[in-house]
Amino acid sequence: MELFQGKRRNILPGFGLSMGYTVFYLSAIVIVPLSMIFFNTIPMGWEPFLHTVTAPRVLASYRLSFSTALFAAIFDAIVGLLTAWVLVRYRFAGRQFLDALVDLPFALPTAVAGICFATLYSPVGWLGETFAKWNIEIINSPTGIVVALIFIGFPFVVRTIQPVLEEVEQEIEEAAQCLGATRWQTFRKILLPHLFPALLTGSTLAFARGIGEYGSVIFIAGNLPMKTEIAPLMIMSKLDQFDYAGASAVALVLLLISFSMLLLLNAVQEWQQKEYR
Amino acid sequence: MNLEWIKKITITASLIAASGLPGAVAEATTVKLLNVSYDPTRELYQSENAAFAQYWQKKTGQTVQIDQSHGGSGKQARAVIDGLDADVVTLALAYDIDAISDSKLLPANWQTRLANNSTPYTSTIVFVVRKGNPKKITGWDDIVKPGVSVITPNPKTSGGARWNYLAAWGYKQKQTGSKEQAKNFIKALYKNVPVLDTGARGSTLTFAQRGLGDVLLAWENEAHLILKEFGTDKFEIVSPAVSILAEPPVAVVDKNVAKHGTGKLAEAYLNFLYTPQAQDIIAQNSYRPRNPAALKKYAANFPKIKLFTLNEVFGNWRSAQKTHFNDGGVFDQIYLP
Amino acid sequence: MLKQPTPESAPIIKKRISDPLPVQMALIGLTLLFFITFIFLPLGLVFAQAFSKGWEYYLESIREPYALEAVKLTLTTVAIVVPLNALFGVTAAWAITKFNFRGKAALKTLLDLPFAVSPVIAGLIFVLLVGSRTPFGSWLGEQGIKIIFSTPGIVIATLFVTFPFVARELIPLMEAQGRDEEEAALTLGARGWQIFGKITLPNIRWGLLYGMILCSARSIGEFGAVSVVSGHIRGQTNTIPLHVEILYSEYNFAASFSVASILVFLALLTVGVKVTLEKQFQKNSFHH
């Protein structure tokens, strides 16, 4: 525990117990299992590893996964902020019902979601028919992947912004208004900076989740090599060749990227909190 | 502050837990068998299992309960390798059972242990087209024409898709005698494929439910099932003049049956599949039976197609897999720019 | 977190500044538009398909023995996963927010990690860890302990996938609340568990409850990771989402969506529980 000794004196009891349990549980459920990815990649050796993770198809799949997840996360950030705002600030009939439905993407199995979207947006589906008239292809194109990922990531953004928005003290807004700021100025200059960390957290989580999503995407993506093949599918198809090492290698790269993204996010937040104080 | 709410949560949680406890263990007189199979065989084994249970009860007095697990053939093989307790495996292609034998769960010569290369039923690859056959598709050469959209799953993740691919390749190679031409043919074919679902059933849904594509490459038995499920007024089957003899093999998983003490039962189960009664059920489910009598009885369902075997063209499954479907194989090459 | 207006604060709420009505209408309209295309339509499709063969067929499909087994398995999983992850969430949040130590950011990142791990990988790692190909897995097998392709495997994979929910919900909340109240209690002579039970727990109850609801919603719906470790044995290792998929690939669309609708009801039920508990609490706290 020497390592964890802090600057400010910790006077509350229970550090050893709570930290011990946290580290134990974290190791048992997350770290030890995840390390298997690493241990299964090692026997490959460096050259074959590089060869596997930089194969053109694999690279194309990374590109696709990252770009679609990014678009979806940006869309989710906008819609999530809007939804949180409407749910917290306004009172209207059916508000609680909408609030309840925000979590639906968590509860609906991703496969069901994928099937639903593929059916809705297919050329003979309820929405696809309309889009087909305008010659817009949704399913079997990157657009379809984005649609599925928007759905998957949506609750992350809403649920991180909502509590922060609830806690915002209205007095600040009132003061700003008294000082002659317009509503839009108040929002942009006062509220948005305050909400920004939560917004960033929410959309990063949506982004990270989007990179790894499999169940819903394979139904709507089309899965064409070099075009609409997502990174998790590359893992799956390697596994189907009984190539555990190759699958682990691709997984390891995805894992490292996601981890560094989250680490960066937490560092930025830590830094912001210090600024704020 | 009271902690009423904690109590409530605890009570609710324990109620849920109590209601959710796993059901009672099956009675002692029941023997259990787990058949791990691939996707399209659900309906077949539902009927076969019922028939076998009756047969076994009559023969030994034991009640037998056969559990089924279905999924993509490769995934199922992987699950067995990783510890899924299958007594018997009935998969889409021999390569998947070879992989299981590589992990020493059954001997390498497994395919010689039962008649007909351990395949009690066969099938082949046919075309399903929309009613009236608007694109006038009659054979393999029609589906590579520009403007024809072909639906077939991803050979990397689907066993059925590999048979589709090998059927097309074999057709061309046998016709021209040239591997180069076969490769070009495959290239042209996959140019016409707008979506590669991960499994055969996914492709069927893309074609039948989402209205994509002009022709679906499918197992013969799946083609009949599609007509049954989605309507003969919507689709029709086109049988090409030449196609591949698809042999989905079955095998007892020796290590697992030794552990469960189900060796006799598992063997009897697989042997049962060769009996006239089981062969009749096989034919009813639109698989081609090995038994000539059953084949004759349902001849109307099985038009004469010139069938070539995989070994004739590709040697064996291991080499076919290596040349065509492994990373860097022919299938990967045709997609590289 | 989700503070309900108490009687005292109600007048303030009424007076609160708000956007002009047209702006309100426009923003609500936009939100509705999103909900319609992304939530209501898929939901509508689920129910339209579920009832496409009529009420009776619907009831029959959800009362079918395999469906009931799937529901049982899913509820068992939830009943194990949610308390474990809640306990962990509270402990981790206590350690992280009540003390200063080096490596906090890294620890927090590790807590978040399961969110960012592809469900495919989440299933794969447990296969790599305790699958029978591995020495550890084959040793377990010799002891007759089955983990993957049976209920424990499904529980563990679900634990992994829903791991961060409670901690994620509690950490920002407890960070905002600080530790002054607890430290004050300590100087007044309260002992550790008393402080936790009388001060911390009441303060975080909504966050905790909320995290548990998200955690249960996600455990009910998890598909990808569970699909890898389940083995898909009908009536034994199929959770509701897996059963939905099986029915769907049997071309049994009506039954498949009927079972899927159970998931929607379960999701709505958890939210219902939350709303009821909130109301209950409001009544109680009012009497104090």
All domains of chain B in start order, with CATH:
30-121+248-301 (3.40.190.10), 125-245+305-335 (3.40.190.10)
Element (H, E) at B130: strand B125-130
Residue whose C-alpha is closest to residue B49's, from B33, B29, B61: B33
Element (H, E) at B235: strand B235-238
Q: How far apart are CA C82 and CA C96, in angstroms?
A: 21
Residues from C contacting B (CB-CB < 8 Å) are 69, 72-73, 75-76, 78-80, 82-83, 127, 130-133, 137, 141, 146, 148-149, 151, 197-198, 201-202, 205, 209, 212, 231-236, 246, 249-251, 273, 277, 280-281, 284, 288
pLDDT in tens, B41-57: 988 999 999 999 999 99
Q: How far is B263 from chain A (nearest CA, A)?
A: 27
Q: What pLDDT score does C10 carry?
A: 40
Judged by CB atoms closer than 8 Å, whether chains meet at A26 and C121 is answered as no
Per-residue pLDDT band for B18 (boundaries 50, 70, 90) equals very low
CA dihedral (A207, A114, A145, A240) positive or negative: positive
Q: How far apart are CA C259 and CA C58, in angstroms?
A: 9
The shortest CB-CB distance from C148 to any of B21, B71, B83 is to: B83
Judged by CB atoms closer than 8 Å, whether chains meet at C209 and B5 is answered as yes
| High-pLDDT (> 70) share of chain B, % | 92
Size of interface A-B (CB pairs under 8 A): 78
Chain B residues close to C288, C-beta within 8 Å? 1
ipTM: 0.86
Are the beta carbons of A186 and A173 closer than 8 angstroms?
yes
User: Strand, helix or coil at A230?
Assistant: coil
Amino acid at C203: N
Domain extent listing, chain A: 1-44, 47-276
Residue C41 falls within a domain, yes or no?
A: yes
**C45, closest residue in chain A (CA to CA):** A116
Q: How far is C230 from chain B (nearest CA, A)?
A: 9
Query: Mean pLDDT in chain A?
Result: 87
CA dihedral (C113, C117, C123, C126) positive or negative: negative
- The phi, psi pair for A126, rounded to 5°, reads -55, -45
Are the beta carbons of B245 and B117 closer than 8 angstroms?
no
A112 touches chain B (CB under 8 A): no
Amino acid at B331: F
**A125, closest residue in chain C (CA to CA):** C45
Tokens found for residue C96: 């992280």
The shortest CB-CB distance from C141 to any of B81, B83, B103 is to: B83
Kindly state the greatest CA–CA separation across chain A: 68
**A53, closest residue in chain B (CA to CA):** B327
Residue C252 falls within a domain, yes or no?
A: yes
Output the CA angle A109-A112-A114, nearest 5 degrees: 110
Of C281 and B8, the one with more pLDDT: C281
Weakest mean pLDDT among B68-72, B106-110, C173-177: C173-177
Q: How far apart are CA B234 and CA B132, in angstroms?
A: 9
**B19, closest residue in chain C (CA to CA):** C72
Chain centroid, CA C183 distance in Å: 32
| High-pLDDT (> 90) share of chain A, % | 39
Residue C133 falls within a domain, yes or no?
A: yes
Tokens found for residue C66: 């395999």
pLDDT in tens, B186-210: 999 999 999 999 888 889 989 998 8
CA dihedral (B258, B261, B263, B266) positive or negative: negative
Cα–Cα distances in angstroms (integers) from residue C100 to residues A210, C179, C186, C215, C227, in the given order: 33, 11, 17, 27, 40
Residue C153 falls within a domain, yes or no?
A: yes
A166 touches chain C (CB under 8 A): yes
Chain centroid, CA B314 distance in Å: 20
β-pairing, B235-238 vs B88-90, is unpaired
Judged by CB atoms closer than 8 Å, whether chains meet at B1 and C69 is answered as no
Helical H segments across B30-158, by residue range? 42-60, 73-81, 94-102, 115-118
Residues from B contacting A (CB-CB < 8 Å) are 72, 74-75, 77-78, 81, 99, 154, 156-157, 193-198, 202, 209-212, 321, 325-328, 332, 335-337
Q: How far apart are CA A52 and CA A54, in angstroms?
A: 6
Judged by CB atoms closer than 8 Å, whether chains meet at C98 and A15 is answered as yes
**C246, closest residue in chain B (CA to CA):** B70
User: Strand, helix or coil at B31?
Assistant: strand
User: Strand, helix or coil at B246?
Assistant: strand
Are the beta carbons of A230 and A217 closer than 8 angstroms?
yes
Residue C5 falls within a domain, yes or no?
A: no
Q: How far apart are CA A1 and CA A17, in angstroms?
A: 11
Q: How far apart are CA B164 and CA C209, in angstroms?
A: 52
Which of A269-273, B20-24, C35-39: highest mean pLDDT? C35-39
Q: How far is C115 from chain A (nearest CA, A)?
A: 6
The helix-helix angle for A142-167 and A56-89 (nearest 10°) equals: 40
**B324, closest residue in chain A (CA to CA):** A241
Judged by CB atoms closer than 8 Å, whether chains meet at A237 and B332 is answered as no
Chain B residues close to C201, C-beta within 8 Å? 3, 6
Q: What pLDDT score does A8 carry?
A: 53
**B25, closest residue in chain C (CA to CA):** C236
| CATH for C171 | 1.10.3720.10
The helix-helix angle for C240-249 and A110-121 (nearest 10°) equals: 40
Q: What is the CA radius of gyration of chain A?
A: 22
Chain B residues close to A56, C-beta within 8 Å? 336
**B74, closest residue in chain A (CA to CA):** A240
β-pairing, B242-244 vs B215-219, is unpaired
Q: What pLDDT score does B23 carry?
A: 40
Per-residue pLDDT band for B216 (boundaries 50, 70, 90) equals very high
Neighbour-count burial of A54, counting CB atoms closer than 10 A to its CB (0-12 exposed, 13-18 middle, 19+ buried) = exposed
Helical H segments across chain A, by residue range? 15-26, 32-41, 46-53, 56-89, 95-101, 104-107, 110-121, 128-133, 142-167, 170-178, 183-185, 192-212, 217-221, 231-239, 244-276
From the candidates A23, A103, A244, A274, which should be mutated to test the interface with C, based on the most C CB atoms within 10 A?
A103
Q: What pLDDT score does C283 carry?
A: 65
Judged by CB atoms closer than 8 Å, whether chains meet at C233 and B9 is answered as no
Q: How far apart are CA C210 and CA C169, in angstroms?
A: 7
The shortest CB-CB distance from C277 to any of B3, B5, B70 is to: B5
Chain C residues close to B81, C-beta within 8 Å? 131-133
Q: How far is C126 from chain A (nearest CA, A)?
A: 6
Q: How far apart are CA B326 and CA C34, in angstroms?
A: 43
The shortest CB-CB distance from C250 to any of B22, B42, B69 is to: B42
- The phi, psi pair for B68, rounded to 5°, reads -115, 140
The shortest CB-CB distance from B201 to any of C79, C149, C249 is to: C249
Task: Specify the number of domains making up chain C.
Answer: 1
Neighbour-count burial of C288, counting CB atoms closer than 10 A to its CB (0-12 exposed, 13-18 middle, 19+ buried) = exposed
Q: How far apart are CA A240 and CA A249, in angstroms?
A: 15
- The phi, psi pair for A211, rounded to 5°, reads -60, -40
The residues that bridge with B34 in the sheet, in sequence order, are: B67
Q: How far apart are CA B35 and CA B151, in angstroms?
A: 29
| Sheet of strand B125-130, all strands in order from the earlier edge strand to the far edge | B150-151, B215-219, B125-130, B235-238
Are the beta carbons of C169 and C208 closer than 8 angstroms?
yes
Chain B residues close to A55, C-beta within 8 Å? 327-328
- The phi, psi pair for A245, rounded to 5°, reads -65, -45
Chain centroid, CA C170 distance in Å: 14
Q: List per-block mean pLDDT (blocks of 10 residues) for chain C, which spans 288 residues.
A: 41 56 91 93 91 92 92 95 96 92 87 89 92 86 86 95 91 84 89 89 86 88 89 89 88 90 82 73 56
Which domain does C25 fall in, by range?
10-287
Amino acid at B38: Y
Residue whose C-alpha is closest to residue C72's, from A110, B11, B16, B70: B16
pLDDT in tens, A152-187: 999 999 988 887 888 777 777 788 878 888 888 888
The CATH architecture one would assign to domain A47-276 is Orthogonal Bundle (1.10)
